[in-house]
Amino acid sequence: AQSVTQLGSHVSVSEGALVLLRCNYSSSVPPYLFWYVQYPNQGLQLLLKYTTGATLVKGINGFEAEFKKSETSFHLTKPSAHMSDAAEYFCAVPFTGRRALTFGSGTRLQVQP
């Protein structure tokens, strides 16, 4: 079955620490991969988009994601967390045969002062 798995529904880091949010997908290499961010009481905002060819993708707010074909992973990182990064993050994949994106269940990032 086609699925997107985000390991860890909640992640807590200290301000200034590395942020690592994990995403794995179950399919052959998709043409695109996405990360979205959702701040409280808001809709989802596109954080970054991977397209075939690149392995490291830079997004907004200092986030980046690395595509690893051998691991079917697309983990999101940020070198130094800021309080304003506290939000929920979703990984999304357009599986073959589906027009819509399939989303992971989300990871809520908490940043401690």
Partner 1 sequence: DVKVTQSSRYLVKRTGEKVFLECVQDMDHENMFWYRQDPGLGLRLIYFSYDVKMKEKGDIPEGYSVSREKKERFSLILESASTNQTSMYLCASSRDRALFFGPGTRLTVL
Judged by the rule CB under 8 A, the positions of this chain that interact with partner 1 are 9, 31-32, 34, 36, 41-46, 49, 90, 92, 94, 99-106
Q: How far is the CB of 105 from partner 1 (least distance, A)?
A: 4
Q: Which is nearer to partner 1, 6 or 73 (CB)?
A: 6
Q: Which is nearer to partner 1, 28 or 42 (CB)?
A: 42
Compute the distance between CA of residue 17 and CA of residue 38 in angstroms, rounded to an integer.
21
Q: How far is the CB of 84 from partner 1 (least distance, A)?
A: 19
Q: Which two tokens stand for residue 86?
A: 């506290």
Q: Which is nearer to partner 1, 3 or 80 (CB)?
A: 3
Compute the distance between CA of residue 102 and CA of residue 6 in angstroms, rounded to an integer.
12
Are the C-beta atoms of residues 15 and 61 closer than 8 Å to each other?
no
Q: How far is the CB of 113 from partner 1 (least distance, A)?
A: 25
All residues at 6 or more sequence positions from 15 whose CB lies less than 8 Å from its CB, including other chains: 81, 82, 83, 111, 112, 113
Q: How far is the CB of 53 from partner 1 (least distance, A)?
A: 15
